[in-house]
Amino acid sequence: MTSPAYLDMLDELLHPGIARLSARFVATQLGFVAGCQQPDGGFGGRRGGSDRYYTDFALRALSWLAPRHVAFDRAAAYFAGPVCPPRDVVECFNALNVRRLLLRHCAETVGTAARTGNLLPLTEWLYGHLLPGGGFARLAGDERVSAYHTFLGALCFQMLGVDMPMNEEAVAAFETLKCPDGGYAEQTDQTTSQTSATAAAAAFLLMNNALPPENMADMARFLVRMQSTDGGLRPHAAVAGGDLLSTFTGLVTLCGLGGVPQIDAAGVARFLRRMAHPHGGFLACDGDDAADVEYTYYGVGTLALLNLL
| pLDDT for res 1 | 36
Nearest-angstrom CA–CA distance, 233 and 248: 8
Counting beta carbons within 10 angstroms of the beta carbon of residue 289, is it exposed (0 to 12), middle (13 to 18) or buried (19 or more)?
exposed
Say what the pLDDT of residue 261 is.
85
Q: What is the pLDDT of residues 1-21, one digit of tens each?
A: 344 599 999 999 999 999 999
CA distance 64 to 202: 24
Q: How many helices (H) and strands (E) are present in the chain, helices listed first?
A: 14, 0
Q: Residues 6 or more apart from 278 whose CB is under 8 A from it?
A: none
Helix axes 244-257, 195-207, angle to 10 degrees: 30
Q: Do residues 123 and 100 make contact, with C-beta atoms less than 8 angstroms apart?
A: no
Q: What is the pLDDT of residues 266-301, one digit of tens each?
A: 999 999 999 999 999 999 999 999 999 999 999 999
Domain segments of the chain as ranges: 6-306
May I ask the CATH architecture of the domain 6-306?
Alpha/alpha barrel (1.50)
- The mean pLDDT of the chain is 92
Q: Supply the pLDDT for residue 4.
A: 57
How far out from the chain centre does Cα 164 lie?
A: 19
Task: Give 206-239 pLDDT, tens digit per residue.
Answer: 999 999 999 999 999 999 999 999 999 999 999 9
The rounded distance, in Å, linking the Cα atoms of 190 and 174 is 12
For the chain, the helix, strand and coil percentages under 3-state DSSP, each to the nearest 5: 55, 5, 40
Residue-wise pLDDT tens digits, 124-134: 999 999 999 99
Residue of 173, 182, 120 lying closest to 149 (CA atoms): 173
The pLDDT-based confidence of 107 (bands split at 50, 70, 90) is low
